[in-house]
Amino acid sequence: MHPKALLDACAELVKLCLLFDHPADAVVSRYFREHRSLGPRERATLAETAFAVLRKKLLFEQLARSGSGPKERRLAILGFFGPRDFLKSALSEAEKTWLDACDKVQPSDLLAPHRHNLPEWMAKALQAQLGDDFWAWAADQQNPAPLDLRVNSLQSKRDAVLKELKQAGVEAEPTPYSPLGLRLQGKPALQKLDVFTRGAIEVQDEGSQLLALLVDPHRGEMVTDFCAGAGGKTLALGAAMRSTGRLYAFDVSAHRLEALRPRLARSGLSNVHPAAIAHERDERIKRLAGKMDRVLVDAPCSGLGTLRRNPDLKWRQSEKAVQELTAKQTSILESAARLLKPGGRLVYATCSVLQQENDDIAQAFTQTHPQFKPVPVAKELQRLKVEGAEGLCTANGDYLRLWSHRHGTDGFFAAIWERV
């Protein structure tokens, strides 16, 4: 595609993403479906440009003021993913001069909002949590997340998969914490590899793998993934159970559960039972009360631990929406807890970094449910032989807390209880 045409397409996609009518990844996917002639390089340029604008929206909008032409074009120029010479061949002389001036702006010259690129309410909450570390975290959110894989232990071993990927020309290395994780260099087309099509690997962030590890399911047990979604953690739990026992994958979205079916077919698991439920108090849930050995509640949340992957979330969330989510999280955790039998394990998790969705929910549950005894996560990770366990937890060791800038994973939180 000619540089000018590609830049025009980038501007068009940026404009669509900034409407915030739908998640950015869905907007990008739909754009590609409507423009099937686009090649892999053009698609990469379009997607990465749009996501760069979403990551640095406040900064780019500030810089765009000194330029001319349609706003979305100026934003697309600032976020353009590709060689500068290629981009400049699509620009007018005035645009080149303006872009050179923008490139000379130093971070030290910027106001705080143009450095952190977050809504003010979010920046305030995270500064209170992180202190001086806030700026390192904020800077890390401007970078794309790595691509992590989980090796399906039912089918293969990590070392064998590592060799197979290397033979296929895919650079990978073991993840530092998850014993089943691999981190890739770049974003290769995995769907074309035999190691993927036969189900030996699944795309899953290392932090998500650790959540499944904390559930610690065993052969022959009754286990529930209460908010299963597309089933990444369900598959990890099923493999840990060696495809024995019964593993229920519940979700209120039948559409999300449909995405689990092809992955389930590849995995070789036969103990998984996906079921769409109307709400957390569904009759199916009531019938299973007091029967579960393990329950994982990966609760619906703001998703702010995934900003490197989903930068639009920070513009689509609000303080009010988070408050509404916390009421939902409390209700879901209450309902899921009823499934456990005495001695059973309950794990509450989110991919949020906000205290009100994490610590506050866990502490309130502990106070109102004396029959549930908290299990310190740091000790549990040590028992599970996870290296550097203390560094993955809160200062008191009670909860798992993962930060992208410290641990290289998405932002995650987890608490564990045992029913006594």
Catalytic sites, residue numbers: 351
Q: Residue 276: which H helix or E strand, with range?
A: strand 272-276
What span, in angstroms and rounded, lies between the C-alpha atoms of 284 and 390?
A: 38
DSSP state of 80: -
Q: Which residues contact 304 (CB under 8 A, 6 or more apart)?
A: 122, 313, 314, 317, 351, 352, 353, 354, 411
Grouping H, G, I as helix, E, B as strand and the rest as coil, residue 231 is coil
And the tokens for 13?
């996609």
Q: How many other CB atoms sit within 10 Å of the CB of residue 383?
A: 10
DSSP-assigned states of every residue in 279-322: STT-HHHHHTTT-EEEEEEE-----GGGTTT-TTHHHH--HHHH
- Pairing verdict, β 172-174 and 222-225: unpaired
Contact criterion met (CB below 8 Å) for 112 and 142: no
DSSP state of 392: G
Grouping H, G, I as helix, E, B as strand and the rest as coil, residue 343 is strand
Q: How many other CB atoms sit within 10 Å of the CB of residue 103?
A: 10
What span, in angstroms and rounded, lies between the C-alpha atoms of 48 and 52?
A: 6
Q: Which of 285, 295, 289, 300 is nearest to 418 (CA)?
A: 295
Amino acid at 200: A
Contact criterion met (CB below 8 Å) for 63 and 78: yes
And the tokens for 123?
């920046």
Q: Which of 201, 158, 199, 161 is nearest to 178 (CA)?
A: 158
- Residue 82 has φ and ψ, to the nearest 5°, of 155, 175
